[in-house]
Amino acid sequence: MATKTKVKSKQAPATESKSKNKAPKTLTGQFIEIFSQREKLWFEECILAYKIAVIEKEWEKMGYLSIKEYVDEELAHKLKISYTRFMEKVKIGEIIDIWGFHSKELIEIGSSKFRTLATLLNLENYTGEDLEQVINDIKNQTVEEAKDTIKNYKLRYVSGEAKPKSLSLSFKLLEDQADIVKHALDKVKELTGFEDLNQALVYICTEFLMNYNEDVHEIEQIKAEVERLSNEAEPPKKVKGSKHNYSGRKK
């Protein structure tokens, strides 16, 4: 008696079925992935350069008399990398190693901002006690904003005093509104001797807050700011009918 044999149905390989169900990456997704890899690879380059030059001294083991000779012979022609550029990577790698940065943390900061951060970490008297705060400050900033932030932190360790942080504000006004604002700023400059429009704007705002603020403590702080601004300006011009003496106090 003949026996029936089961014929197994052909199944597509698991990888094929998975690829069918997997949604294709968007160009944006691909860009983000490649950009992230590039950042990670940059940091890895720096760490390897540091190991080659300092930790393992591979250039010495290969029979070269100096790192420059090693770079010129082994890397310059193949990678178009100069000795100066290689040593910059060595220095960054050294900073990563000394301060114990992790890969994820480095990628969040980004290579451009990390270069700027490195100038702070290189200071002889920098202890790192505020490093976490510095990183949090620059993490979501642009490169230019991060440069200003790092510059202010560096001033604390160079001169012991930080320069006040500057911010840019922009306003979109109708032409008539802009004329009013410009006229007010020009008038304050005329009355106070200020040459800077920024000072003039702060003066107008502090005057308003002093006259329409019920918080005594805040008023005292504003008065101090107004007096500081007054000291930076020329002596105020007396204007007929003026209700203020532009020292932050009403007559």
Give per-residue pLDDT as tens, 180-192.
988 888 888 888 7
Per-residue model confidence (pLDDT) at position 237 = 40
Q: Is 129 helix (H, G, I), strand (E, B) or coil?
A: coil
Query: Residue 77 is encoded by which pair of tokens?
Result: 């022609």
How does DSSP assign 140-199, residue by residue? TS-HHHHHHHHHHHHHHHHTSSPPPPP--------HHHHHHHHHHHHHHHHHH----HHH
pLDDT of residue 2: 44
| Per-residue pLDDT tens over the stretch 96-109 | 999 999 888 888 89
Q: How far apart (Å, rounded) are the C-alpha atoms in residues 198 and 244?
A: 20
pLDDT value of residue 240: 35
3-class DSSP state for residue 233?
coil
Which pair of structure tokens corresponds to residue 24?
A: 């294709």
Q: Residue 181's Cα: distance from chain center in Å?
A: 32
Q: How far is 95 from 118, CA to CA, in rounded Å?
A: 7
Residue 121 CB neighbour total at 10 angstroms: 19
- 10 Å CB burial of residue 156 (0-12, 13-18, 19+) is middle
- Residue 251 is predicted with a pLDDT of 31
One pLDDT digit (tens) per residue for the chain, 251 residues = 444 444 444 444 544 444 455 556 798 888 888 888 888 899 999 999 999 999 999 999 999 999 999 999 999 999 999 999 999 999 999 999 999 998 888 888 999 999 999 999 998 888 888 899 999 999 989 999 999 999 988 888 876 554 555 667 788 889 888 889 888 888 888 887 777 788 888 888 877 777 776 676 776 776 676 666 555 544 444 333 333 333 332 23
CB 103 within 8 A of CB 43: yes
**C-alpha count within 13 angstroms, C-beta hemisphere, residue 65:** 0
pLDDT confidence of residue 9: 44
Q: What pLDDT was estimated at residue 228? A: 61
- Which residues are bridge partners to 244 per DSSP? 250
Euclidean distance between CA atoms 228 and 237, whole angstroms: 17
